[in-house]
Each structure stands twice: as structure tokens, then as C-alpha cells.
Homo-oligomer: A and B are copies of this chain.
Amino acid sequence: MNERDFKYALQCYKERVDKFLGHYLESLTAIPKTLKDSMEYSLMAGGKRIRPILCIVCYELFTDSIKEILPFACALELIHTYSLIHDDLPAMDDDDFRRGKPTNHKVFGDGIAILAGDALLTDSIRLMLSCNLNKELISKAMEEIIDAVGPRGMVGGQVIDLELTGKNDCSLDELRHMHLLKTGRFIESACVCGAILANSPDSQINNIRKYGKMIGLAFQIADDILDIEGDEKIMGKPSYSDIEKGKCTYPTLLGIEESKRLGWECVNEAISAISIFKSPQAEFLKAVATYIMTRTK
């Protein structure tokens, strides 16, 4: 898939997700205005929608229509947004800017920011449950995602991150484990949920899991590289912000060149894991793997 076709397809999927999220926000009529404003502020702050898109396309590998999976896929963006709001709090990473805008707590205060995160996490479950798909499959997919974002996954990873921050020292194994929990498992399970909800066979779910695991790893390596090489204006946050906080990153441990080599190794393994699939959707997923290492924000 050439870059122009990929960017166009990516934009189309993103628009579907944005439109669904817009409808979701419109449906929130009976909630306090401050809460809705705070949820909307972060949910519509220009995210790339990578997790919902991965979920949708992995579903589309096995089906013709994507309409049924939209609530589930978009629920992943609610979870991602909740995690960003809480991570940015002064009690955690203490970030003032994200995507070029003041962080949620800078605008709404810490209390409302915590509650907006809580509301998004809780409502993500409501969206998942609302899917017009087989209840057994929804339940299986929810088990997958909940394990990935709970204490054994994302939340656990954030605790390890808090504990490692400021030490300026960790092993490659510790760094890999932390990122696997904090970012990797979520991206992996976004892909896997698409395949589960399409009722695809276990052997193919395993291929998709391998793909998701590898792009999850590449995603974090690329993030660490962008923290150094990224353009502040495009990123919407200051360069070296992770390193200045005393966070361990791939470039600080391995150097930039070795980090890039490792990132591309993951991309190639991801592409190879789904080589059995031949559809345009499979080509799109392969292009996503490359995009993850070449993106500028």
C-alpha cells in the first residue's frame, strides 16, 4: 500500500471514529455540564485514534461491515483518554501540555480531571456492552481488554513508571516490562478484540496478537525517540520532557541508532506475523506498523 492510499484510509477510519465519539458526547445530556465539558475537552483534543482503528481493521479482516464494532472500538479511545488525563495529574507525571493544549487538570482543576477520567473509564464499559454483537463474544473481548488496562496491565505499568521515574537508572528488562504493561498490552488487545468480536479462529487470533504485541513495542520505542528528535510544534509538548523528568527511555539506555534498529525489528516482526492475510485491510495493518516508526507526533 503506497503512502498516499494509506494516509487516505487512515483519515477515513479516523473520521468514522471521530463521528461516533461526537455522537457519544451529544448523547450525554443528563450529566453535569462541567463534567461533560471536561470529558469532551480531552476526548476531542486531536488524538490519533490508533487503538480504535486497529480494533476496527482487525475486525474487518474477517467481516464486511464495521458498523457493529464501532461502540466497542470507540470505547477504547475513552479508556485511552482517561489514562492520559490521570497520567498528566500533578500527583503523577505532572504535565502542563498535551497535544499543544493545556492538560485537563490545568483547565478544569484536579478534582474534575480525576472525575472526568473515572467517568470515561466507566462509560467505556457502557459502550462495550451496547454493541449489537453476540454477548459471549463481547464478554470474551471485554475480558481481554480489561485485563490489559487493569492492575495486571496499564495501571500496573503506570505504578512501575512512577516508581522508576527520577531514579535515572533501570535495566532494559525493567523498561521493557514497564512499557509492555503500560502501553503494549493495550495496543495488543485492541487488535485482538477486533479478531475476537469477528469470531475468528484461535490460530488467527494468535497471529494478530503477535502483530499487536510487536507494534505496541515499536510504538513506545518511537515515542521515546520522538521525545528527543520530535518537533515541539508538531508534538504539542516540549522535547526531552521524559528525560528531564528522570524517566528511563530506550535512547538513554541504548542510544538513538540502536533504538531505531530495535524499533524497525519490531515493525518487521509485526508485518511477518500477519503475512498469512492478503486483503487490503491486511495491507493497511502492515502500513500501520511502518507508520508507527515514521510518524512525527
Contacts and interface: CB of A to CB of B under 8 A. Distances in A.
B126 A150 contact: yes
Nearest to A117: B118
A123 B122 CA distance: 12
A92 B121 contact: no
B114 A92 contact: yes
A119 interface: yes
Interface residues of A, number: 50
| The 10 A-B residue pairs with the shortest CB-CB distance in the complex, in nearest-first order | A91-B110, A122-B150, A119-B151, A91-B111, A135-B135, A31-B151, A32-B159, A119-B155, A35-B159, A31-B156
7 contacts: A28-B151, A31-B152, A86-B115, A92-B111, A118-B118, A125-B146, A130-B143
Contacts of A129: 139, 142-143, 146
A125 B125 CA distance: 8
Interface string A270-287: 000000000000000000
A162 B125 contact: no
Contacts of A118: 82, 86, 117-118, 121, 155
B30 A115 contact: no
Nearest to A83: B118
Contacts of A257: none
Contacts of A156: 30-32, 35, 119
Contacts of A89: 110-111, 114
A229 interface: no
B110 A32 contact: no
A109 interface: yes
Contacts of A155: 35, 115, 118-119, 122
Contact of A138 (B35, B139, B158, B162): B139
